Amino acid sequence: MYIMQKQNRFVIPRTELTYPCHTLKMNEKAAGAPVDHVMPDFEDACPYEFKGDASRKVLVEALNTIDFGNKVIAIRPNNIRSKYFLGDVQAIMIGAPDKFHGIILPKTETHDDIVHLSRLLDALEVQGGWTTHVQIEALIETPLAVINAYQIATASTRMAGLIFGIADFSSTMGVREMIDNQNRNFHYAKQATAVAAKAAALHVVDNAFLRLIRPDTSPEEAAIIKQQLREKNEGSRDLGMDGTWVIHPQQAEIANDVFTPDDEQIEKTKRSLEVYHRLGGGSIADPETGEFYDEATTKGMLMDLAKAVQAGKVSTQYLAELSAKSKEVSGYDILEVMGRVA
238 within a domain of the structure (yes/no): yes
Helices (DSSP H) in the chain: which residue ranges? Answer: 24-31, 53-65, 85-95, 111-128, 143-147, 149-153, 166-173, 182-185, 187-199, 219-237, 252-258, 263-278, 295-310, 316-330, 334-337
* Residue 342 pLDDT: 57
Selection from 134, 81, 72 nearest residue 107 by Cα: 81
46 within a domain of the structure (yes/no): yes
Domain end residue (candidates: 199, 230, 258)? 258
Please indicate, yes or no, whether residues 195 and 294 belong to a single structural domain of this protein: no
174 within a domain of the structure (yes/no): yes
Please indicate, yes or no, whether residues 7 and 44 belong to a single structural domain of this protein: yes
* Residue 164 pLDDT: 97
| Rounded-to-integer distance, Cα 259 and Cα 14, Å | 6
Please indicate, yes or no, whether residues 108 and 177 belong to a single structural domain of this protein: yes
237 within a domain of the structure (yes/no): yes
Report the chain's mean pLDDT, rounded to a whole number: 91
Does residue 342 contact residue 9 with C-beta atoms inside 8 Å? yes
Please state, as a whole number, how many other Cβ atoms lie within 10 Å of the Cβ of residue 288: 8
245 within a domain of the structure (yes/no): yes
| Rounded-to-integer distance, Cα 210 and Cα 45, Å | 13
Please indicate, yes or no, whether residues 144 and 268 belong to a single structural domain of this protein: no
Please state, as a whole number, how many other Cβ atoms lie within 10 Å of the Cβ of residue 15: 26
Q: Sorting pLDDT into bands at 50, 70 and 90, what band is 230?
A: very high
Residue-wise pLDDT for 316-327, tens only, equals 888 888 888 777
Please indicate, yes or no, whether residues 212 and 309 belong to a single structural domain of this protein: no
* Residue 60 pLDDT: 98
Domains contained in the chain, number: 2
* Residue 37 pLDDT: 96
Please indicate, yes or no, whether residues 215 and 283 belong to a single structural domain of this protein: no
Is the model's pLDDT at 20 over the cut of 80? yes
Pick the most confident of 4-8, 186-190, 271-275, 338-342.
Answer: 186-190
28 within a domain of the structure (yes/no): yes
| DSSP conformational letter for 250 | G
11 within a domain of the structure (yes/no): yes
The amino acid at residue 77 is P
Domain end residue (candidates: 231, 258, 285)? 258
Identify the domain containing residue 270 by its residue range: 263-337
Domain end residue (candidates: 240, 258, 276)? 258
* Residue 195 pLDDT: 97
Please indicate, yes or no, whether residues 74 and 141 belong to a single structural domain of this protein: yes
Please indicate, yes or no, whether residues 80 and 200 belong to a single structural domain of this protein: yes
Residue-wise pLDDT for 96-119, tens only, equals 999 999 999 999 999 999 999 999
342 within a domain of the structure (yes/no): no
3-state secondary structure of 105: strand
Please indicate, yes or no, whether residues 217 and 333 belong to a single structural domain of this protein: no
Please indicate, yes or no, whether residues 219 and 317 belong to a single structural domain of this protein: no
Q: Sorting pLDDT into bands at 50, 70 and 90, what band is 84?
A: very high
CA 308 remoteness from chain centre: 16
Please indicate, yes or no, whether residues 205 and 330 belong to a single structural domain of this protein: no
Please indicate, yes or no, whether residues 270 and 254 belong to a single structural domain of this protein: no
CATH number (domain holding residue 249):
3.20.20.60
